[in-house]
Amino acid sequence: MYIIKLNAIDSTNSYLKDLSTAAIPKDYTVVVAELQTKGRGQMGAKWNAESGKNLTASVFKSLPLFSVTEQFYISMAVSLAITKALSSFKIPQLRIKWPNDILSADTKLCGILIENVIKNNKLQGSIIGFGLNVNQKIFKNLPQASSMSLVTGVLYNKHEVLSEVLKQLEIHFSLLESKKYAEIKKEYESLLFRKNKPSTFVNSKDDSFSGIIQGVTENGQLQVWTEDDIIKTFDLKEIKLLY
């Protein structure tokens, strides 16, 4: 494992993407920054974190034998790895909010951004970025945000947290490479936030509706049992689950 530590960078994912344009980085190349000035999340969202208090990192995972059509399994495996790592630090009520936000009860601890490196229609590898709130105590105008320390009252060693996350990533990528897809999907769905509970959603037209999450498809669409007694599938751009 090759770890690059930086004081400040615009985005650890962008740093790894720039590296990969010249040559494919070594497997498990890790970039860690004390401060991200332009951290990114899903759907172009910004990720803001207090300098030195949290874990902002990206990992390059080589996946030369993995099919582009199976890429949501990468997201599921990464979500499970970070959940397992947090579980080892006694973080309670861990859940995965589709597609890959990590929650404690109903507050967000971690966001994940996965960007796949595809050349000649073949998946070369994945850049796995994650922002994990570790010791930050104040989140202005972010009512759903929390941190490991806020949840438990414990001050954590970020290096220990990173080490555990990387260990779990290796374990879960080993499961992926062993084609344990059914096992990964079953565990991911068991941790889905608000699964089997009546929930409120907003569609791309800002219309709200009620439904019950049933699970996900193999390509990552959310399966929702809607009010008209039909199970419908939705892409990330089509639907938003309200807390």
Residue-number span of the structural domain to which 132 is assigned: 2-190
pTM over 0.85: yes
191 pLDDT more than 90: yes
Structure confidence by residue, pLDDT tens digits, 156-166: 999 999 999 99
- CA neighbor of 108 nearest in space, from 163, 168, 148, 152: 148
Non-local CB neighbours of 30 within 8 Å, separated by 6+ positions: 1, 2, 3, 4, 57, 58, 59, 60, 166
Domain co-membership, 212 together with 180? no
List 233's β-bridge partners, or say none.
223
Domain co-membership, 156 together with 48? yes
Rounded to 5 degrees, φ, ψ at 74 are -65, -45
Domain boundary among 147, 173, 190: 190
pLDDT at 48: 58
Residue 79 burial by Cβ neighbours in a 10 Å radius (0-12, 13-18, 19+): buried
Structure confidence by residue, pLDDT tens digits, 7-64: 999 999 999 999 988 888 999 999 999 988 876 555 555 555 678 899 999 999 999 8
- CA neighbor of 129 nearest in space, from 206, 61, 192: 61
Domain co-membership, 153 together with 237? no
Domain co-membership, 214 together with 159? no
In angstroms, rounded to a whole number, what is the distance separating the alpha carbons of residues 241 and 80?
20
- Tell me the Cα Rg of the chain: 18
Domain co-membership, 13 together with 91? yes
Domain co-membership, 234 together with 145? no
pLDDT at 47: 52
In angstroms, rounded to a whole number, what is the distance separating the alpha carbons of residues 146 and 157?
17
- CA neighbor of 241 nearest in space, from 214, 216, 210: 210
Domain co-membership, 107 together with 220? no
Domain co-membership, 104 together with 30? yes
Q: Report the CATH number that the domain containing residue 33 is assigned in CATH.
A: 3.30.930.10
Amino acid at 153: G
Predicted confidence band at 141 (pLDDT cuts at 50, 70, 90)? confident
Q: How many CB atoms lie within 10 A of CB 188?
A: 23
Structure confidence by residue, pLDDT tens digits, 71-102: 999 999 999 999 999 999 999 999 999 999 99
What is the number of structural domains in the chain? 2
Q: Report the CATH number that the domain containing residue 226 is assigned in CATH.
A: 2.30.30.100
Domain co-membership, 110 together with 30? yes
Domain co-membership, 124 together with 213? no
Domain co-membership, 124 together with 35? yes
Domain co-membership, 219 together with 105? no
Sign of CA dihedral 187, 191, 192, 194: positive
